[in-house]
Each structure stands twice: as C-alpha cells, then as structure tokens.
Structure 1
C-alpha cells in the first residue's frame, strides 16, 4: 500500500524529499558555521562567517517551510487516495465476499488505518530532517576524529540492535490492537443500531458496556500501551547510549592532545546539536511503525476485496423477454442450525408483466434465492439465462442492472443518484405526496431533505426510489411488513397491478396470504427447495390505477 501511494505521488514526494534534504543539510552547515565562529579570531573571517550563516539560515527556513507544506499536501493526498482506493475495491467486490469480510473491518480501514498512514506522510519531514542532521553530525564528527567516530558507530549499532529487538516485540502488540480495533468498530455500530434494545434492558446494557464494548476498548488500550511502552523504553535505551557516549568522549577518549580545547568545543557543540534531533527521531519512529501496521491491515483487507467482474455501462438497462434459473444452487453457513445450508437446485422462469409471490417459513431460503436472482450471489451450480443466453462472469454486473430491489435490510441513500433535473424532482415529490410523505421529506436537486423517518416511512421512500429507477424487474422483500393497513392495501391492490400493466416483472417475498390472489403464481419454499408453484384463484379486480394518481391524497 505504501509503495502504491509512493508511485501515485512520485513527483510531489520527490519535491518534498528534496526540500527536507535541503533543510537537513542547511542545519548541519549552520553547525559548522557556529563551530568555526567560536574559534575564529580574524574580524574579516568572522564577517564572512556571519554572512554565510545568515544565508544558510534563510535557506534552512525556506526549505523547512516548503518541506512541511509539501508533506502536508502529500499527507492529505495520501488520505484521500487511500479512501478512494479502498472504496473502489469495496464497490467492485463480490457482494457475498463483502458480507463475509464484514462492515466493521472495512470502516476501520477507511477511517483509522487510512488516517494513520496519512499521518506518517505528514510526519515524514521530521524523520527525514532529523535523520539528515544526525548523519551530518556524524560526518562532521568523523572529520574531527576518526577514532571517536568509530566508537559512535559502535554505539549506534548497539542502539539499532536494541531498537530492532524492541520493534519485533512491540509490533505484535500493535498488530493485536489493530485487529481488535476492527472488532471495536462493530461494537460501536451496535452501540447505535441497538440503542432501543440497550435502553429497554438495563442488565443487557450493563453487560454490553462492561463485557463487550468495555472489554474491547480495554483490549485496544492495553495492547497499544504495551507496544508504545516498548518503543518508549527502547528510546530511553537509545538516550542512555547517547549520554554514555558523550561522557566517554569528554572524559576518557579525548586526552591531552594538541588543540584539545578546539576539539572538545567541536564535540560538545556536535553533541548538543545532535541530541535533540536524535531524541525526536527515536520518538517519531513509533508513528512510522503504527503506519506500517495500518498499511498492512489495509493491504490485508484489500487483498480480500477481490473484484466481482467487469462493471456495467451506465446506460439504462434494456428490457428482457425471458429470464430463467436452471438448476441454480448456493451454499452458506446457517448459524441457527449450525450447518451448511444448501439452496436448490432451483428451476424457475420469469417473464415481463408477471407477478410472482415467494412464500415460505423463516430460514427457508427466500431472501437467498432473491439475491441469487438479482445477481448479488453467484450460483455455485446451474446457470442464469437471460433471453436464452447464459449470464457469464463478465456480464454479471450488466445483468444486475435489470433489477430494482428493496430488501428487508435495505439502505436508503440521501439522494436519488440520478442526474438531477426539475422533472426528476417533480416526479419524486408527486410520489411522496401520494404516499403521504410530503410533510416529512422533499426531493430537491435530486436529494432527499431528510432520512430521519420511521422504518415504514423509509420503506415508502425506498419505494419511490425503485419506482423512479424504472427497471424491468422489481424485487420486494417483505416490503409491506412495516406498513399500516392503508399502505398495505395500496401496495398490493394498486401498485402491483400497475407494475404488471407497465410490463414489469415483479417478485414479492410476503407472508400476507390475504393478498395471494393478486399474484400470477405463488412459489413456495421449504428448507432451500421450491416445493410448489401454485396459480391462485383470481378475485375480480378493478382496473389498476396509476400510483401517481390513485393513492389517497
């Protein structure tokens, strides 16, 4: 993931890196100017050093400013690019695979993990500048004395070894915290989605707060604290080595040598100048390790988010003459029965202008069959044929564009996601008025003014969206379950006959047996099998009236 970001922002990263290198070099040059000024005795030499110092200080300011601004832009770009990349993978992933991965892991990748990788880019100037200052000081130290530089290299080697061992130890804790963080996002969702249940059951609320949410928060805190503490301890070990080295140089290694005062002054200045960048470098490296862990988690998730076939063109879907499922079957783990549930093999045909009711007990496989029909699940055996042609992997997304579906766990977007137009707004608002929602919500510029509605009202709003999409096949999964008798009557007795008259194929998952006579056929399911296809007795019906003109006003 980091390599992908670097490739995508090569020019900006190069410019920001060069600016950081310039800032670090200027800092080291300032050190040499200061040291030279301390021992200079000639006024002309001191004047020249002063002008050189002023120019280098100005360059250091400009380069550091440029570096910080460029890396800030790079960090924001990285954050946005990561979110675009993960979002694109989510939208392209097979729906069944996305269900298996789970929303909390995806949300964690899009929020915290992306933010940490972006923070690494924002903090990279500090790492680069401090590293250059430390390296420059070591080079200057080597110019002053090779023997002391050798001792410094040994000390740095010991510090690096200790830091590497600490890194291996700490990274396990940070990775455990990252994985628990994914689960914590699921608990955060439950905190909001389960708000009613938690308020109705005090003991359940207490156990959730203590044993589920609280335990997960504590686990993240504990693992992060351990990992960060190990890093900080390794930083303290590095600081100890630095000061031990300073004491060794000042009191042991530099004996009675010619120009001892100049050498001691140079070393003291180098040490004072180098300690702060080295400490900052040791403190900022854990951020880089956190970013590395987050990048690995994003990589892990995006590898699991495999594309689900070629994307369909955005043009309106064409009508079809026939649609058939031939020996279609699908398997999945059934939690209630603690076994692998097998749906099918199923053989069904659908045609325009046909209303089919799909009925059966809970867990019989109705919704799974509907998801197979609309292309959200792939058949493991058998084939789906449209006008006699088998739907292949490359055409699966195009096939899905034939359908508008309202599942029981539907999501309602805040806008229609069609090209905004006055006609779209007007048609939407007419339908809202007929569904008695005009005082709750309006369509403005292709967007809903609110989604803060009851579940039944939200389903009516979803019905408006499906109606405006004008797809040739509509699927309703227990749509009327949350409606009052008035709107059940509207749905079954007015909307469905109108869709039939418009030539739409309709599949309705329902338990409302008093309306079965309105269907052209009733498909019964038990334990994943279609056990019967019945043609109900038809009751005399009035001519279907348009939804836009016939609903109660």
Structure 2
C-alpha cells in the first residue's frame, strides 16, 4: 500500500526527499562550522562566519521546503487512499462486502488512512534526522576513527535494546488495530441501536460498560503499552549517548595537539545528535503504526474478489423477457443452524405485470430478490435477459435494469439516481401523491430533510425508485411500516400506475388482503417454490 502511494506521487516524493536530505546535510555542516569556530584563531573567523550564515540560510530554506512538500504529500496520500478504498468497496462483490462488514471499511477510511497519511507528514523528520545522524557519525570518524568505533559499539548496544522493544511494540500495535476495527462496530451500534438502548436500562449499562468502554480501554491499553515500549527504549538510547560523552571527555581522549578539537567535536556532535536521534526514534513508531494500518488496508482491499466490469452509459437496459433457469444459492441459516439451500428457482418476468412473492420468515424471499437483481451471482443455474445470459462481465449492466427498495434501504443526500431538468417538479408531485409535501420538498435535486419516521423515509425511497424510471421495480416489504392509508395508496394506486407504465414489478409482501391485485402469486417456503391455494384474481405459481 505504501509502495502504491509512492508510485502515485513520484515527483512530489522525490522533491520532498531531496529537500529533507539537503536539510540534514546543512545541519551537519552547521555543527561542523560551529566546532571549527570554537577551535579556530581570529584570522579565520570571518570566513567561517560567512560560511556559517550561508549554511544557516540554506538549512532554513531546505527545512521549510521539506515540511511544505511533505504536508502536501500527506494530504495527497490521504485523498488517494480514501479514493482507492472507496472505489474498491464500490466495485466489490456485494456478497463478500456483507461478510467484510461496514466496521472494517469505516476503520480503513478513517483511522488507518489517517495513520498512513501522517507517516508521510513525518517522513521529513525521519529523513532529515537520518541524514543528520549519519553525517554526524561520518564527521566523528574524521576526528578520530578509534573513538568512532567505540561510538558505533554504543549505538549498536542501544539498537539491540530498541529492536527487542520494537518487535514487542509492533505486536501490541497490531492487536490494537484489530480491536479498533471492533470498536468502530460498537460506535455504529451506539446510534443504530439507540432506541433499544433507551428502552432497556440493563442492556444500555451492559453495552456501555462491558462492551463499548471495554473496547475503548482495550485500544487505549494496547496502544499505550506499545508506544510506552518505544519511549522506554528511546530513553535507554539517550542514556547510552550521555554515558559515551562522559567516556570521551574523561577517559578515552588522551593528550595530544588535537585533544581539544577532538573532545570538543565529539561532545558537541553527540549533544547535537541527541535531539535528531530522539526525533528519529520517536517517529519510527509512527512509521510502524502506518505500516500496520497500510497492511490492514491492503488486507481489506485485496480481500475483495469478484471485481466486475462497470456498465457503460447510464440508460436503463430494456426489458423484454427475464428468465431464471434452475437458479440456486446456499448460505448459513441461523434458524436451522445449517446451510440453507435456495432453489432451484424457475421464474419468468415480463413487462407490465405485477408479481407478489410471499412466504414465511426465513423462506429466502430477500435472498431471491438479491439474486434476481444481480447483487448475488447464482451458484447454480442461469439468468437470461432478452435472450442473453447474464455472467460476470455483463452483470453490472444487468443491474441497471432494476430499482429496488429493500427493507434496509439507504437514502443518499442527493437524488443522484435521476438527474434531469424536471427532477424537482416531478419529485414534488410524487411527494404530494404520498402526502409528504408538508414535511419535505425536492430542492435542487435533493430532499430538503430526511429527519422523518421510518415509514415516511420509505415513502421517500419509493419516490427515488419512481424517479429512476427503471423497467423493473422490486419492493421488499415496503408496506410493512406504513399506515393503512398509505398501504391503500401503494397497492391500489402506485402498483396499478406502474403496471400502466409497462413496468415489471416484484412485491415481497405479507399483506394477504391485497394478493388478488397481483397478476401472479409466487409462494416460497424453505427455499423452494411451492404450489399454493388458488387466490381470486391472481395466477398462483
């Protein structure tokens, strides 16, 4: 995932990297000039002063450029990541997306993406301070290679302790990331289950105390332990640096003409190197946190098979004849604690007919609807539209045939489904038909509010389905949340109007008093199409 982002920002990344490297080199040159000024005679101070000023200006400009470029890179990376994840999720197989769950997707789009973007913002600190530390070590080698070897030994000793702490910290951060995915699911339950929580005080207390707060504390505890290990190992490294400075000043440097220059140089460089080394060590956890997040994003997006081609154009496909031949589908069924087998299903749909799909709860009605509209690919059998077999390459085009109002429907902020000149006028006409004109309006292609009851929001979903003007409409228990008045409007006014418009309509319903209004009645029990008793006014399949 990090490699993908770097490929998408090569030019910006190169410019920011060069600026950071330049800043690091200027920092090392600056400390060298300070040491030279401290040990030089009066004759050479003027030249050193001018060189010091030039290096200081160059350091300011390079640091400024590096910070600005990497800030732009971080925001670009965040936008690219969210765009990449959104497109993968939008194009993923719907059945697999159901298994992944919204919590993992939300976590990837928010927390994990932000962690990766913050890593790019921290890159100038990492790069600059890496150059500073390496440059300082090279300068120390020029002063005294014997003491330099001792310095390497001290740094190596500190690195071993840091590496051991690093391995443990990464495991803790990875566990925190997994716990956070679950935490996002609990956050969603906090709003989606608001009614249930307020109606049951013990449940509310148990959810807040035993589930939500436990998950929050779990993330806090794991991240605190992981980051604390980094802090402890950093403090250990700082102690070794100061211990080595003491060895240089009081033990390692003997007599000689260069004693002052070597002692001053080593002490000055090591004191100067403490801050960049600390910054480097403190930013490595952020880099590792970004790596964990990038891995999570990579696992999520790579775990989305079934990417399908997108249908060209936006015009709905015409409907002449739609046939399901021996369609089957299997999934785990909670009621029976077994694999539920739907089908084989043989059905035919044509324009201008209303079909009611009826059956008990758990009989497979909604699953059949998802198979029909192309959200699930059939595991067995075939679907044919106008004499053409529906397969992976044309399934997205096939889905454009349908407008569906599922029981768990979603309303978008804007009417993205039906852009046209008379959208507001037609939408408001439909709202008046459904007695919603006093609560909501269509203005500039959007509903003025969605703060309505579930039944009223479902009427908005019906308006959206109307405005899409697709050849085939599917309603999954649409009337279940409606008052008797609007049930009458739906069954006796809306459905006949759709029939006159030449639409094919499938209605999943338990309202047996309206069954005679159907052209055909399809009865589904335990995943099988069954013959049923005759219903006046309807053909029974």
TM-score by length of 2: 0.97
Describe the SS at the equivalent of 1:329: strand
Match of 1:79 in 2: 78
Match of 2:475 in 1: 476
Distance 2:312 2:36 in 1: 70
Distance 1:335 1:153 in 2: 63
Match of 2:519 in 1: 520
- 2:308 aligned with 1:309: yes
CA contact (8 A) 2:418 2:468 kept: no
Distance 1:283 1:423 in 2: 59
CA contact (8 A) 2:308 2:393 kept: yes
Measured after TM superposition, the shift of residue 372 of structure 1 is 0.4
Describe the SS at the equivalent of 2:97: helix
- 2:62 aligned with 1:39: no
CA contact (8 A) 2:133 2:277 kept: yes
Describe the SS at the equivalent of 1:349: strand
Alignment of 1:218-237 (within 5 A): 218-237=217-236
- 2:1 aligned with 1:13: no
- 2:166 aligned with 1:167: yes
Alignment of 1:313-328 (within 5 A): 313-328=312-327
Distance 1:94 1:533 in 2: 35
Measured after TM superposition, the shift of residue 345 of structure 1 is 0.9
Alignment of 1:255-270 (within 5 A): 255-270=254-269
Structure 1 residues 373 and 193, CA gap change in structure 2 (3 angstroms): same
Alignment of 1:453-492 (within 5 A): 453-492=452-491
CA contact (8 A) 1:521 1:534 kept: no
Shifted more, 112-121 versus 415-424: the winner is: 415-424
Alignment of 1:49-128 (within 5 A): 49-128=48-127
Describe the SS at the equivalent of 2:361: coil
Measured after TM superposition, the shift of residue 353 of structure 1 is 0.7
Quote the RMSD (CA, aligned, Å).
Answer: 1.3
Measured after TM superposition, the shift of residue 533 of structure 1 is 6.1
CA contact (8 A) 2:354 2:506 kept: yes
CA deviation string 1:110-155 (max 9, x = no partner): 0000000000001111111111111111111001000111111122
Match of 1:551 in 2: none
Distance 2:532 2:15 in 1: 69
- 2:293 aligned with 1:289: no
CA contact (8 A) 1:89 1:307 kept: no
Measured after TM superposition, the shift of residue 315 of structure 1 is 2.5
Distance 1:521 1:144 in 2: 94
Match of 1:180 in 2: 179
CA contact (8 A) 1:418 1:446 kept: no
Distance 2:338 2:232 in 1: 49
Describe the SS at the equivalent of 1:357: strand
Distance 1:90 1:42 in 2: 69
- 2:213 aligned with 1:208: no
Measured after TM superposition, the shift of residue 463 of structure 1 is 0.5
Match of 1:189 in 2: 188
Distance 2:432 2:364 in 1: 36
Match of 1:544 in 2: none
Measured after TM superposition, the shift of residue 307 of structure 1 is 4.1
Describe the SS at the equivalent of 1:413: coil
Match of 2:401 in 1: 402
Distance 2:251 2:73 in 1: 47
CA contact (8 A) 1:520 1:536 kept: no
Structure 1 residues 419 and 245, CA gap change in structure 2 (3 angstroms): farther
CA contact (8 A) 2:417 2:464 kept: no
Distance 1:16 1:243 in 2: 33
Match of 1:23 in 2: 23
Match of 1:497 in 2: 496
Distance 2:449 2:306 in 1: 33
CA contact (8 A) 1:520 1:535 kept: no
Describe the SS at the equivalent of 2:251: helix
Shifted more, 375-384 versus 314-323: the winner is: 314-323
TM-score by length of 1: 0.95
Instruction: Could you tell me which runs of 5 or more consecutive residues in structure 2 were left unpaired when the two chains were aligned.
Output: none
Shifted more, 121-130 versus 310-319: the winner is: 310-319
Match of 1:548 in 2: none
